[in-house]
Structure 1
Amino acid sequence: MSEDRVVAVLVTPPAARAAPAGIEPADFLRAVAEDTYELVAGLDFVSPVVVTSVPGMEEIVWPGTPVIDIPDLSGAALVEAAFAALPHGEQAVLLSADAPDLPPLLIGKLFRELGRARIAVCPAAEGGAVALAAHLPYPGWAEAGFDDPDPVRRLRAQAPGSRMVARGPGWHRLRDPDDIRLLDPGLEGWDNTRALLSV
């Protein structure tokens, strides 16, 4: 693992909102958070971290993975607090926990974009962001949240330089029950979510 590169899974209460009828929201949140963490923990050359305002997330991680509690915030304040809470690192990706089937390659692409930019964004289908990557410390001029309609445009408008914000390939998040259809059954991983949905 690398102490220089951190991938933090951000677990917050809204991750439970996509629970389909008949599935307990708390169980759904735990399943998607664990799957998202598992994909991060399986990456080479990064340090996995969980940043959360949801109790009990220590139970989903491997021994040695930091689990950092933050206040229950939203928007740009949540992003700022999550990046500020990271214990180490020169570059970090903050990944929303409601993307359990994210291809790991997209995380690598965000780090690659940081070779030329200060911040890189993995946009979410239907607006918002799946992940935000940044050089640390997180820039003080950057004020965007995961659910902003167009975080790339917002960050570029705030940036002091025209090439400081990069856009990586996009993906989807599970933000309401209809989004379950977006999960790709052909992709490896997301075993906990898959098992929960097949009960």
Structure 2
Amino acid sequence: MTRVVAVLVRQSMANAAPGDPREFLEAIVEDTYEMVAGLELVTPVLATSVPDLDHLLWPGTDIIAIKEHTPLKDIFAAINADQAAIVSGDAPDLPPLLIGKLFRELGRAELTVCPSEDGGAVAMAAKLPFPGWADPDLDAQDPVKELRAQAPGRRMVATTPGWHRVRTSADLDRLDPGLEGWENTRAVLGATAR
């Protein structure tokens, strides 16, 4: 079974930047990508509307070029695998365990969602080909409710424990200093605080 995890990058993910938006975006994306690239039994890719991010990636990593508002279902359709997950690039301290839980839930559902604490979703995973009935959106207020309403059966959408995204400057306080990883984001935030 092949599994791909795509880190989704959109220019709007720089909105929480305390300083230089490009520097901040690169930091959060690199931290999220490094977490994904460190997972076993998955292939990392980058799905991005932001150009010139290849220097953040391990050699050989595929890049899926998208537009700023490309629908998630189209990104899933561009992935060649048995199962795929899309992780929002603005979740630099996301525990890798939650990605594993997304894939585990695909044993009983066609689509799984890791909800975000303030609405939306941090990540979604699906069996491929992507279900034709689903039109997911990481930024929908309640994507689980919306997807369950779209699904032809109740047990087709599963959830995992939630996490948080860094979408506004207030969200920076949610980053967990006790978690390993997210060194690039820490460095940018530390430099900005001086």
**Range of TM-score over shorter length:** over 0.9
> TM (normalized to structure 1)?
0.94
Please say if 1:180 is aligned against 2:178.
no
- The equivalent of 1:79 in structure 2 is 72
Q: State the distance in 2 between where 1:66 and 1:189 align.
A: 23
Instruction: Decide whether the 8 Å contact of 1:100 with 1:190 is kept in 2.
Output: yes
Q: Distance in 1 between matches of 2:83 and 2:4?
A: 6
Q: Where does the alignment leave 5 or more consecutive residues of structure 1 unmatched?
A: none
CA distance in 2, matches of 1:89, 1:166: 20
Select the residue among 52, 55, 58 that pairs with 1:59: 55
- Give the corresponding residue for 2:12: 14
> Residue 10 of structure 1 contacts residue 82 of structure 1 at CA under 8 Å; is this kept in 2?
no
Distance in 2, Cα, partners of 1:84 & 1:152: 20
Q: What is the aligned-residue RMSD (CA, Å)? A: 0.9
CA apart distance, 1:144: 2.3
- Segments of 5+ residues of structure 2 without an aligned counterpart are none
One-letter amino acid of the counterpart of residue 121, structure 2: A
2:21 is the alignment partner of 1:29: no
Work out whether residues 4 and 46 of structure 1, in 8 Å CA contact, stay in contact via their aligned partners in 2: yes
What is the match of residue 50 of structure 1? 46
Q: Are residues 1:105 and 2:101 paired?
A: no
Distance 1:185 1:164 in 2: 35
**Post-superposition CA distance 1:19-46 (Å, at most 9, x none):** 11xx101111010000000000000010
Equivalences, count: 191
Shift of 1:140: 1.4
Letter in 2 for 1:82: I
Contact 1:37/1:61 (<8 A) preserved: yes
Deviations, residues 172-192 of structure 1 (Å, cap 9, x unaligned): 000001100000001000010
Tell me by how many angstroms 1:84 deviates: 1.6
Matched, 1:131 2:123: yes
Tell me the percent identity. 60
What amino acid maps onto 2:170 in structure 1?
D
Counterparts of 1:154 and 1:85, CA distance in 2? 23
Alignment of 1:96 with 2:88, yes or no, is yes
Q: Deviations over 1:107-147 (max 9, x none)?
A: 00000000000000000011000001000111111112111
1:163 to 149, 152, 155: 155
Match of 1:145 among 137, 147, 150: 137
- Deviation of the 1:161 alpha carbon: 1.1
Shift, 1:71, TM fit? 1.7
- 1:78 shift after superposition: 2.0
* TM-score, with length taken from structure 2: 0.96
Indicate conservation of the 8 Å contact 1:70/1:81, yes or no: no
Residue 85 of structure 1, CA deviation: 1.8
